[in-house]
Amino acid sequence: MLEEGMIAEEGSYAELMEKDGKFANLVRKQINAAKEKAAGKK
């Protein structure tokens, strides 16, 4: 994961999710946004 052009975290998807850092936070935000969008379409 890059932050301001620098490597903030690195690893596989599973490793980054396990670290529960910046990448995992970004993924959770994206999933929540997609869920909210889908809920609005029902």
* Residues contacting residue 19 through CB under 8 Å, at least 6 positions apart: 9, 11
Supply the pLDDT for residue 40.
Answer: 87
Average pLDDT for consecutive 10-residue bins of the chain (42 residues)? 95 97 97 93 58
Supply the pLDDT for residue 34.
Answer: 95
Report the candidate in 30, 32, 25, 33 with the shortest Cα–Cα distance to residue 8: 25
The DSSP output letter for 11 is: S
Domain that holds residue 19: 2-41
Supply the pLDDT for residue 7.
Answer: 96
Supply the pLDDT for residue 17.
Answer: 98
**One-letter amino acid for residue 20 of the chain:** D
Supply the pLDDT for residue 42.
Answer: 52
Question: How many separate domains does the chain show?
Answer: 1
Whole-structure pTM value: 0.79
Q: Where does 1-42 have alpha helices with state H?
A: 13-19, 22-41
